[in-house]
Amino acid sequence: MADIFYTKDHEWIKVDNGEGVVGITAYASEQLGDIVFVELPQKGMSFDQGKDVAVIESVKAASEIYTPATGEILEINSSLEERPEVINNDPLGSGWLYKMRVLKPEELKSLMSEEDYNKLIGAKS
């Protein structure tokens, strides 16, 4: 079973057997507005937790995306290069950004649960 964790910067990571799928939250996609461009990392690159790894541009702003855990990029969602609006339509599903090998799973303890994240954004449970 996959565990999902959230950052204060509105990224999520769903981890299963040491691999994570990363994206932005529905709240983040709503705040950004219509997403028009995505710059994703290259496969094989490694990043430390909290480092900027991607950029999402919307009609309102450009926003850096930070990696929720230290790891290596295994795959990117290349369909977003042609259809970045998928992030707006399904941020927790087909709008995922990249998959990574989580190299320091202990870092996940510093992230938030869905309940804690909802408290952060003031969402009603």
User: What pLDDT digit, counting tens, does each position of 82-124 carry?
Assistant: 999 999 999 999 999 999 999 999 999 999 999 999 999 997 6
Q: Is the pLDDT of residue 1 over 70?
A: no
Tokens 């990571």: give the residue. Answer: 13
Q: Which domains does the chain have, with CATH numbers?
A: 3-104+111-121 (2.40.50.100)
Reading the block at residue 7, the tokens are: 């950052």
pLDDT digits (tens, 9 = 90+) for 19-33: 999 999 999 999 999
Tell me the one-letter amino acid at 19.
Answer: E
* Integer angstrom CA distances of residue 52 from 9, 89, 115, 122: 11, 23, 25, 25
Count, residues in the chain: 125
